[in-house]
Amino acid sequence: LPDPRPIGVFDSGIGGLTVLSALVKELPGEDTLYLGDTARVPYGTRSPETVLRYAQRVSNQLWHRGIKALVIACNTASTHALEQLKDVGHAAGIPVFGVIEPGVFAACRATKNQSVGILGTEATIRSERYQRLLANEGLAVKAIACPLFVALAEEGWADDPVAATVAARYLSSLKGGPDTVILGCTHYPLLRNAIGEALPGVTLVDSALATASAVATVLREQSLENARETGGTTRFLVTDNVERFQRVGRQFLGRAPEPVELIDLDSPAGLFAEEP
Ligand code: DGL
């Protein structure tokens, strides 16, 4: 039987809209429920324990609202919470996806010189999760944390000369090395031009696209698809600052996210009393 429940997608804030956007293109008939934890962003500078705690709280909120699949759009949260959230999902019969494995899989297929670069937040790179998965496939790996990319993307400077300068600075050590580089952070696909110019001839792997096709495959296999082919809708939940989410989110989604509801993960109901 078709399953009309929405797919839950969460991120530390705005960046996961790149994953949502890929998902909606891949599965236009599905409803989606996006939660951006804008009160606690960034996750990328925090400790593994804190990221796990935040990710558990956010996903609890989504489980309670009735979702049929959970996509951890944030690379940092996928790094530190995927196993734990998969266990919870498994017990409830809900598939849980992170963005890391699909990106690794795509990079393995793309590389010809068996050498792959990975770019991510400090927390993602420090955990060495990507590095381990890629090394297990027999690939040489170079990893670089690029924290300034997040700010550049949110500032709307992805195609400004300043982004090109920052990219050249971060990526100089990759020259002549990997032929494939994973954009291992939600924000980095926006800087694709600047990163590509700093690494001519290198294949850039967008894990958002890789994740969206993994979700589509599993929904099909598990008969969790919606009956509709098109016309799916998206609702947005944020934990802080609706105005900024809509303004900055436009660059990530191609339109202002709408409708957006402010929620409080600390209140017992998880909800603010909305003004009428
Ligand atoms: N969403 C995060 C990621 O993909 C980047 C922003 C943050 O640090 O929270 O790693």
Q: What is the pLDDT of residue 269?
A: 53
Question: pTM for the whole thing?
Answer: 0.93
Percentage, residues of the chain above pLDDT 70: 96
Report the side by side order of strands in the sheet with 140-145.
140-145, 115-120, 180-183, 203-206
Give the Å distances, CA to CA, from 135 to 53, 140, 142.
28, 6, 10
Which residues are 36's β-sheet partners? 11, 238
pLDDT at 42 over 50: yes
Q: Which of 18, 54, 58, 76 to mutate to test the pocket of ligand 1 (most atoms within 8 A of CB)?
A: 76
* Residue listed under structure tokens 């993602």: 124
31 Cα distance to chain centroid? 18
> Average pLDDT of 224-236?
94
Whether 146 sits among the annotated catalytic residues: the reply is no
Using a 6 Å cutoff on CB, does residue 207 contact ligand 1?
no
Q: What is the pLDDT of residue 266?
A: 79
Q: For residues 267 and 269, give the distance between their C-alpha atoms in angstroms, rounded to a whole number.
A: 6
Which tens digits make up the pLDDT trace of 157-191?
999 999 999 999 999 999 889 999 999 999 999 99
Q: Tell how far the Cα of 5 is from the centroid of ligand 1, in angstroms.
A: 27
Rg, the chain, Cα only: 18
CA terminus-to-terminus distance, the chain: 37
pLDDT at 274 over 90: no
Q: Tell how far the Cα of 38 is from the centroid of ligand 1, in angstroms.
A: 11
Which tens digits make up the pLDDT trace of 82-116?
999 999 999 999 999 999 999 999 999 999 999 99
Residue nearest to atom 2 of ligand 1 (CA): 74
Q: For residues 124 and 77, give the distance between their C-alpha atoms in angstroms, rounded to a whole number.
A: 9
Q: Tell how far the Cα of 275 is from the centroid of ligand 1, in angstroms.
A: 31
Confidence of residue 15 (pLDDT cuts 50, 70, 90): very high
Beta strand segments in the chain, E: 7-11, 32-36, 69-72, 96-97, 115-120, 140-145, 180-183, 203-206, 234-238, 260-262
Give the Å distances, CA to CA, from 42 to 123, 126, 251.
10, 15, 18
8 Å CB contact between 106 and 131: no
Give the Å distances, CA to CA, from 240 to 29, 74, 147, 153, 265.
29, 17, 22, 19, 10
> Average pLDDT of 222-227?
93
Q: For residues 62 and 182, give the distance between their C-alpha atoms in angstroms, rounded to a whole number.
A: 28
pLDDT at 271 over 60: no
